[in-house]
Amino acid sequence: MQLKSIEIIGFKSFADKTRINFPAGMTGIVGPNGSGKSNIAESIRWVLGEQSAKNLRGSRMPDVIFSGSTDRRSLNMASVTLTLDNTDQFIKTPYSELKISRKLFRNGDSSYYINENQCRLKDITDLFMDTGIGQGSLSIISQGNVENIFNSKPIERRSIIENVAGVYKYKQHKLTAQKE
Ligand code: ATP
Ligand code: MG
């Protein structure tokens, strides 16, 4: 499984349609302070279902939509699409290429897509659960996060380890089964 590219439109500082390709190997993103490096990492977390505006350094979710600059009006919509190569079937789905998209309008309307078919957030969460790349996973460590992990309570740290070890999914299944 490999991240092939990301397309960002109207998300944070990316007013224009921006496509970033990730060729095989390692990719580094460099740039001056405030140029948008963290915004790229946040756009990946967002499309994978991040629900906390605070985790994206905002107070409400529409804060992720481009809010205008000295020479540009604000936009009404943010959209991010992640393209993943899944030829190795790392993610258990018949698709060899996966396109995951999320859109948000200023009025709060929001939608998710898997390969251009509208879906629920849950479909995306389920797809990535225990792959180590989904919502809340540790594949993306934001600034200040390492410190938070060190300072977390044992029970929180346990849940981080369970997530990394891939047992979280089974705990969720158990909880659902117990409720039924
Ligand atoms: P550093 O090296 O300091 O970590 P960075 O490259 O990670 O910087 P970011 O934090 O990704 O930079 O980008 C910050 C910029 O994004 C700021 O200029 C901020 O004004 C802009 N920004 C954030 N949200 C929005 C938004 N909704 N609309 C327009 N610009 C935004
Ligand atoms: Mg940064």
Q: What is the pLDDT of residues 21-77, one digit of tens each?
A: 999 999 999 999 999 999 999 999 999 999 999 989 999 999 999 999 999 999 999
**pLDDT at residue 70 in the model:** 94
Is 23 among the annotated ligand-binding positions? no
Spatial CB neighbours of 71, under 8 Å, sequence gap ≥ 6 = none
For residue 136, pLDDT beyond 70: no
The alpha carbon of 22 and the centre of ligand 1 are apart by a number of angstroms equal to 21
Q: What percent of the chain has pLDDT over 70?
A: 98
Q: What is the ipTM of this complex?
A: 0.98
Q: Is 34 annotated as a binding residue?
A: yes
C-alpha separations of 104 from 53, 80, 85, 139, 151 in Å? 13, 9, 25, 24, 33
Cα 56 off chain centre by: 10
Atom index in ligand 1 nearest the CA of residue 63 equals: 27
pLDDT of residue 163: 74
94 marked as part of a ligand binding site: no
Q: Going by CA atoms, what residue is nearest to atom 9 of ligand 1?
A: 36
Task: Identify the domain containing residue 107 by its residue range.
Answer: 2-120
Question: Is 140 part of a structural domain of the chain?
Answer: no
Domain annotation covers residue 111: yes
* CATH at residue 65: 3.40.50.300
Q: Is residue 80 part of a domain?
A: yes
Average pLDDT of the segment spanning 118-123: 96
Indicate the pTM of the whole model.
0.87
Tens digit of each residue's pLDDT (9 = 90 or more) over 143-162? 777 888 889 999 988 887 88
Domain assignment present for residue 43? The answer is yes
Atom of ligand 1 lying closest to residue 58 CA: 24
Which pLDDT tens digit goes with each residue over 73-106?
Answer: 999 999 999 999 999 999 989 999 999 999 999 9
Q: How high is the pLDDT of residue 159?
A: 82
Residue 60 within any structural domain of the chain? yes
Q: Is the pLDDT of residue 164 over 90?
A: no
> Which candidate, 141, 169, 167, places its Cα nearest to that of 149?
141
Token pair 């998300």 in the structure block, residue: 11
Distance 97 CA to ligand 1 centre (A): 30
Q: Classify residue 56: in a domain, yes or no.
A: yes
Q: What atom of ligand 1 comes closest to residue 13's alpha carbon?
A: 30
Residue 28 falls within a domain, yes or no? yes
In-domain check, residue 26? yes
pLDDT-derived band at 133 (thresholds 50, 70, 90) equals: confident
Q: Is 27 exposed, middle or buried (0-12, 13-18, 19+ CB in 10 A)?
A: exposed
Domain count, the chain: 1
User: What residues line ligand 1, using a CB cutoff of 6 Å?
Assistant: 12-13, 31, 33-39, 63-67
Q: How far is ligand 1, taken at its centre, from the CA of residue 54, in Å?
A: 14
Ligand 2 mean position, distance from CA 38 (Å) = 4
